[in-house]
Every structure is written in C-alpha cells, then in structure tokens.
Amino acid sequence: MVGNENGESLEAVYGYIEEICDEIDADILNSQKILDFVQSETFSNILYFPWNEPKTLTEFLRIIVTLKRYATDERFSILEIFDKVLKSNLLKTIIPKNISSMKESQLKNRIQAKLFHFVIEILLFGYENHLSKMDDYESDVHIIVSSLKFYGDIMLEMTKEKFAQLEKIYTDIQKVKAEKAQKKAKAQFKTRNFDGKGILPPENFRSLPLIPSPTELEISFEPYLRSAKIFEPYSNSEHYLDKKKPEKVECIHIKM
C-alpha cells in the first residue's frame, strides 16, 4: 500500500497512526479522533490492503483493540467495526506471513510479539461477541494455537492469559464439532443391516483407502461384516473378493 484514493501517502497515513498511538500512550486520546479515523476511507483501505511491515501493522492493530474502550459510547458501533475488520483481508494476511517468519528466524522480537497479542485480542472479541465471520477463522486460529504453543517464549506476559483463552475456545469448538460428526455418523448406520445378508456393502471395497482416517477411528459403530457362504456359491467374483478382502473395519473394531 503506497497511498490511497484520496492521494494520501503511506508516510502521511502512518504518521497519523503513530500520532494516535502516542496519544494512547499519554492517555490523552480524544475519542472523536479515533472515531473519525475508523470511519474513514483510509481505515477501510488498510483493512483490504495492509502493510507488510510488522511495526506498522502492530500500531494499526493497537488502534483497533483500543476501540474496546468505547464500547459504551453510542457514537461507536463497536460490533460493526470489529465485524468489518474480521470480514476484511487484514488478519488472514497477517497471520500466515508472520507465523512463517517467526518459525524461520526463531525470533524473540517484541514488535512481532505485540502484533500477535493484538491479533489474539481481536479474535477473542469476535468469539466472545459471536461475530458472524468467526467460522472463517478456524484454520487461522489453528495456526496460531499450534504454532505459538511451541514458541511460547516469544509471547508477552500479558499475552499468555489471552492465548490460553483462545486455545480453550478453539479446543471446545473442535470438541463440539467432533461430537456432532460422531452423532451424525452413528445415525447414518442405525438404519443399516450390518450382518452382510442379502444387501450390498455400504461401499465398494475397491474404492476404500487402506489406511483408516482419523474420523473413522473416532466413530464407534457395528462394522459391516459380510457372512461367509459355506453351503452355496457366491454370486460372482466381486462378491467373493468383497468377503476375502483384508477387513479394514475389523481392524478399527478391534482397536475400539
């Protein structure tokens, strides 16, 4: 981003952001000033065309997080502003790139640590207020949770509690999804006859992968076991091979 449609240069925009952050530090920020900024076209442009430089992004994210101070101010539509942020490209651009650079350099960089603190704050606000786009961030939250868990030494002290909250939310969501998937899978098999008599198998054995998927290993149900024909012939070779094939479902059932 080198400027915006109003002709403002990158330097001018970032200078204004630094000015706001300086006023936040000095606790002299005028609420109207931050309101005007987040309602401006410049703010929207940055959401969809963010900078690449971590320090610049960190200051911008800090302004977004600071908006929470004005939750009771009727002039601010806080939920709408955060929803706008989450619908933009901002976090989806920041997260993978900065996680990647963090892994490459094993850095203990305070600027990047601050950046992820503000990212986590924004995601938590989204989850806590049930904003509409949070389902779209499942993979991004997974990246943060799985990566920062192993690079916890770069986190600021104030971030650790927030990270634990985000990790718990993510874990709880995954648990609920797994339980729903298991119930759905079990329900699908309730109406089937698994003794193998007189019906075709649920799936053609030639199309089944050899290795059970994690989902299959989590599901508990009676497997499809075709009964052997002792006193009568098989219908055809496919019928015979379906019985004689290595039974993956038996392996899963034994595991259970």
**Tens digit of pLDDT for each residue in 129-148?**
888 789 899 999 999 998 88
Asked whether residue 250 falls in the same domain as residue 126, the answer is no
Asked whether residue 197 falls in the same domain as residue 130, the answer is no
Residue 80 lies in a domain: yes
Asked whether residue 198 falls in the same domain as residue 133, the answer is no
Residue 4 lies in a domain: no
Asked whether residue 54 falls in the same domain as residue 129, the answer is yes
- Of 123, 148, 176, the one marking the end of a domain is 176
Sign, CA dihedral 3-53-69-141, equals positive
Expressed as residue numbers, the domain containing 106 is 10-176
**Chain centroid, CA 148 distance in Å:** 14
Asked whether residue 114 falls in the same domain as residue 203, the answer is no
Cα angle 85, 76, 63; round to 5: 50
Asked whether residue 89 falls in the same domain as residue 36, the answer is yes
Number of domains in the chain: 2
Asked whether residue 128 falls in the same domain as residue 236, the answer is no
Task: Quote the pTM value.
Answer: 0.70
Tokens of 248: 């993956």
Contact 208, 245 (CB under 8 A): no
pLDDT digit string, tens, across residues 154-201:
788 899 999 999 999 999 999 998 888 888 877 765 555 544 444 555
Residue 183 lies in a domain: no
Asked whether residue 72 falls in the same domain as residue 168, the answer is yes
pLDDT digit string, tens, across residues 57-86:
999 999 999 999 888 888 778 989 999 999
How many CA atoms are closer than 13 Å to the CA of 209, on its beta-carbon side?
Answer: 6
Asked whether residue 106 falls in the same domain as residue 225, the answer is no
Helices 157-190 and 110-128 pack at an angle, to 10 degrees, of: 50
